[in-house]
Amino acid sequence: TQLLEQSPQFLSIQEGENLTVYCNSSSVFSSLQWYRQEPGEGPVLLVTVVTGGEVKKLKRLTFQFGDARKDSSLHITAAQTGDTGLYLCAVRPIQLGRGSTLGRLYFGRGTQLTVWP
């Protein structure tokens, strides 16, 4: 079973459109990260969300962490061709008695976004 479910798996839109992608789980996390990966490259961190209900903005990208810290969404306003890529969410599960930020990341399978001119 997949710890993180990302939807949609694929998204193809025209430049200028808005979109939202989702990352869901039945587990609670101390933090959640969003990465973007371009073909032939490694993932690049976009943002880390920590507090339930938190909203972070990065230019045209808006990230939200669910109140219960089980899910997150990424909204892109007025998409551009440069936004094309694989969007991945990742977490470190809460370890009882430890607030460590070290250790492995668990990744979702990602949303492949293609923005057409």
Partner 1 sequence: NAGVMQNPRHLVRRRGQEARLRCSPMKGHSHVYWYRQLPEEGLKFMVYLQKENIIDESGMPKERFSAEFPKEGPSILRIQQVVRGDSAAYFCASSSGRETGQGGNEQFFGPGTRLTVL
Contact footprint for partner 1 (CB under 8 A): 30-33, 40-45, 48-50, 88, 90, 99-110
Do residues 92 and 78 touch, judged by C-beta distance below 8 A? Answer: no
Is the CB of 29 or the CB of 79 nearer to partner 1? 29
Shortest Å, Cβ 76 to partner 1: 21
CA-wise closest residue to 2 among 38, 26, 21:
26
Shortest Å, Cβ 41 to partner 1: 5
Q: Is the peptide bond before 8 cis (omega within 30 degrees of 0)?
A: yes
> Could you give the 3-state DSSP secondary structure of residue 21?
strand
Residue (101 or 117) nearer to partner 1, CB: 101
Show the DSSP H helices in the chain as ranges.
Answer: none
Considering the complex, state which of residue 42 and residue 117 has its C-beta at the smaller distance from partner 1.
Answer: 42
Residue 13 beta carbon to partner 1: minimum distance, rounded to whole angstroms = 22
